[in-house]
Chains A and B, each alone.
Chain A
Amino acid sequence: MHKRTVSHLLSAATVAAISLLAGCSTYGVKNPSGTGVTVLKADEQGTVAGTGIESQDIVAVTDKMARSILEIPQIANAATPPNIAVLPIENGTRFAINKEQMTTRLRARLVSQTRGKVVFLARDRMPALEKEQQLKQNGQLTSATDPRVVEFRGADYFLTGNLDGSSTRNSRGVSDYVLYTFKLIDVRTSAIVWEDLAEIKKQGLEDSAYR
């Protein structure tokens, strides 16, 4: 009787120990040792994703727009490099974004690909530029040219864009469509000399625990 009791107690203790170890070792921790840094390309979709505007969208859209702008005669056949000022894009989607990221990348692509065929004006730095000029005019700074002569260039074209979106939701998930349009406006005539678009649609399902 004693032997049997001891044997049962031992079996209970073993099962308890195994259960404790097996049950607890992974509780609440999917990847207990973590994951090292993963380097992704900016045009690559990672495993962490939503239906919003992501890096791969910005890369794809700005690359497409840069290629498209370069083909228009006003740029490709210009006798002198046109001066372009970038106006902020307007975000009409449901996603708050860093708008400058998109125009900065587009400008950088154009500058690097055209190698001087277009000149971008640093309108976003005007307060600093004006202050510098003022200091030169006051004689507080040296100047290679006559500081009283205004040399800030006027724009030949404005480059701007719009983001518009529409979203759908049902009991299973969400779908988002974003339309990116960019245009080049002739400042003298207000004519839109170039416009192009890119569209991206995404959908994803929500876990029922959150519905």
Chain B
Amino acid sequence: MSPKRIATPLLATALALAIASGGCASQGGKAGADRDRVLREYREGAALMQATRFAEAKVPLDDALLTLGGLSAGDPTAKKARGLFHEESSKGFRGEPYERVMAYYYRGIVYWMEGEPDNARACFRNAQFQDSDAADGKYQSDYAILDYLDGYATAKLGGDGSDALKRARSYARLGRLPDYDPKANVLVFFEMGRGPTKYAGGEYGEQLRIRPGISAAVAANLRVAGQSLRVAPADDITYQATTRGGRVMDYVLANKAVFKGTTDSFGNAALLSGAVLAGAGSGRHSAADEVGAGLLVAGLISKIVSSATTPAADTRAWDNLPNFIGFAALQVPAGEQRLAVDFVDASGRTVVTREVAFTVVPGARDTVLFLSDRR
């Protein structure tokens, strides 16, 4: 059989595979929309929190947390994402731990607003749990604010939150966390800056990297009922996102990248050798001619396989997160009140001021406020 007779059907097959692969890529529209559902809900939840539409924020957050609460074992999109020929981003989005943490954190705030501090505490505990598998034990479950709030909720419920407070203080890097004030009746959650995002590094984009967030404001001055209090944030989301260490998926992507590189190099070598041999045979149907054609075909197939291999890391990111989150508890007299929060930079200059009006009802549940430096 002549090399041409072998080569033509093989080329046709390769072409067909390439066409099929390209054709299928365009079929992912609906599946793609679904795989990003949690991401959309995260973004919507954060946007609604920042717009102080807390009751509405519950809806997307609850739906996203339903997905997070279920186990990922058996998820067909995850299986596909581990395959050589599908990108990591083909899996249903759940987010990196720092993103999952924030979903539970926001939901916990809304629970507390609704007078359910124990369910709020459940969310803070679950948030801390999301951070519990960092590669380096030093960074596992190390959100200061989550343990602080866990203990605060416990103290509010009549329990002993001292262990949680102790843990929180051991993680606090941005300032000392104050003692719990059981008489505090106004709880203020605040956030500032723009959080970290993701980008891909490495030869084939197989390395997930974190671009640090930014924040002009580094502290908050709270003014209410004649009191003024400067509060540092309790946690830095960029720090949390960048101290996670490697993921199991990173090894999968690294292997995909090696496979892609190897098949590409082999393809190059085979194409070059095949061309040289086929050229040396000069179309005289010699053995060199046949080997050369075979190598050309093998090289082409290897190049196609290499080109179809997709080691790119999943860079979808919850892009409206803050860079810093903080908390303060105040005793405020009953009646109509107005809280002003000046977000200040390192030199003490006010970057932006946010205000909120509220009513303190004696004997009623705690008033929980949430303010963001962005709207």
Contact = CB atoms under 8 A, between A and B. Distances in A.
Contacts of A204: 71, 73
B69 A52 contact: yes
29 contacts: A4-B5, A8-B9, A9-B12, A16-B20, A18-B16, A19-B17, A19-B19, A20-B20, A20-B23, A24-B23, A28-B31, A28-B90, A29-B31, A49-B70, A49-B71, A91-B118, A91-B121, A96-B107, A96-B108, A170-B133, A171-B133, A173-B71, A174-B129, A204-B73, A206-B72, A206-B73, A207-B75, A207-B82, A210-B249
Contacts of A112: none
Contacts, number: 143
Given A207-B72, A207-B78, A209-B78, A96 B19 contact: no
Contacts of B20: 16, 19-20, 22-24
Interface residues of A, number: 45
Contact of A210 (B12, B94, B107, B119): B94
B61 to A, nearest CB: 11
Among B16, B78, B79, B248, residue most surrounded by chain A Cβ atoms (within 10 Å): B16
A97 B62 CA distance: 11
A209 B88 contact: yes
Contacts of B8: 8
Contact of A209 (B15, B91, B119): B91
A99 B119 CA distance: 9
A211 B15 contact: no
Interface in B66-108: 69-82, 88, 90-91, 94, 107-108
Nearest to A98: B119
Contacts of B121: 91-92
B125 interface: yes
Nearest to B68: A50
Contacts of A43: none
Contacts of B17: 19
Contacts of A173: 71, 73
Interface string A27-49: 11110000000000000000011
Given A20-B20, A209-B252, A27 B28 contact: yes
Interface in B19-40: 19-21, 23-24, 27-28, 30-32
A208 interface: yes
B122 interface: yes
Nearest to B108: A96
B331 interface: no
Given A15-B12, A15-B13, A209-B249, A93 B73 contact: no
Contacts of B88: 209
B133 A12 contact: no
Contacts of A22: 20
B184 interface: no
A94 B125 contact: yes
Interface in A86-114: 90-97, 99
A148 to B, nearest CB: 26
Contacts of A143: none
Contacts of B28: 27-28
B91 A11 contact: no
B132 A209 contact: no
A64 interface: no
Nearest to A28: B31
A24 B24 contact: yes
Among A4, A19, A210, residue most surrounded by chain B Cβ atoms (within 10 Å): A210
A100 B78 CA distance: 36
Interface in B220-251: 247-249
B126 interface: yes
A211 B119 contact: no
A209 B126 contact: no
